[in-house]
A and B are shown apart, each in its own frame.
Chain A
């Protein structure tokens, strides 16, 4: 009987033993807001600290050292970011995304307001080689007067580079402010192919749109990298206002949507 009882108990234990799924700890830690880890990665603006948790990338930031980053993170998110102790699969994707590859990386925007999230999602739609004015985002969100709030939301972007807030410029096409400094914003935009200097010169002369006669449409001057080099051809015209374009019978470009639909 003793033998049998022991065997019964062993079998009972073995047959009722559970192994937690890999997600169990992550989900539990996530409930506690404990799951952020960070590492440093190279980016187009130099080394950046990148933090992530099971929801996605929670922060991209430049900092003097890890202590400064951790302090900033804790203040900003009121939870801890801990140095990564083991390689996480997401890091590879983040690295590729930071190198400019078209890789989908989840981002954790739980600390942003709904408006901020909407602004950031809109910024995410802007392709590489393009830029859009702050007012464009405000208008696209059916809130054309919220230009300043759009600026604040972008300044508050927890994951710059991954959400390309650097692709949002002033309405006169001056590049404007940036979390990593205005110089780095210029570098990034030029690196992506935008002819920033020429675009800024157009802006200074009050040019707001480019008419493309061949396609019978008009665009923002920041609609792709190819637009400015083509400007010297006779098939393109500089325009000060949308009314001018409409009077010429041009329709708004469906890519950059230069005016409200």
Chain B
């Protein structure tokens, strides 16, 4: 499996947009923050929706992420803001809030269900019935596989293979050494693969 890993390498390892935004924030938090929201809202919302399986709750969590981020930024000095790795910092806040939101509840992971209990995608795009039928099982299984992972493997796996963050960013977001997140992401991938093989 290790040999196949390069196929999963994210194409973007440096969040250049984040760097530019961090500089703009250091100059003026108020005027730059709107751009932060607009740049990251889809990503943050998607992370929350994947974890919570509920669009409305995801929207609330995503909103809280930006509110928390803004309030924190107001207390940071300019050098600290300039050095921020914005994307991983926002992911860190998001993961914390998701943890709070699911505390005491079973993680659903794309457990978005229709009223009749059948699964449906969170995505805004509407696949054709044929393609839907074909892919439904696959991505549903990934959701199920992720839900089986322990929290530490899940965070590392999701950030790496779903969110496609660099290991550096993941280490930042999870406040863990790079070696640890690499190992956890890999173990997560192994477990997901085993889960999918078991299911098929």
Contact = CB atoms under 8 A, between A and B. Distances in A.
A13 B10 CA distance: 13
A8 interface: yes
B49 interface: yes
B123 A18 contact: yes
Contact of B121 (A1, A16, A20, A32): A16
A82 B33 CA distance: 12
Contact of B139 (A12, A25, A27, A80): A12
Given A4-B196, A5-B196, A24 B45 contact: yes
Interface stretch (B16-24, B60-68, B76-84, B175-183): B60-68
Given A18-B122, A34-B34, A5 B42 contact: no
B192 interface: yes
Interface string A5-29: 1111101111111111000110111
B15 interface: no
Interface residues of B, number: 44
A16 B139 contact: yes
Contact of B193 (A1, A15, A35): A1
B30 interface: yes
Contacts of A31: 63, 67
Contacts of A11: 135, 138-139, 142
Nearest to B38: A25
A81 to B, nearest CB: 10
Contact of A17 (B4, B37, B42): B42
Given A15-B122, A31-B67, A32-B67, A6 B42 contact: no
Interface of B: 1, 4, 7-8, 30-31, 33-34, 37-38, 41-42, 45-46, 49-50, 55, 58-59, 62-63, 66-67, 70, 110, 121-125, 127, 135, 138-139, 141-143, 161-162, 189, 192-193, 196-197
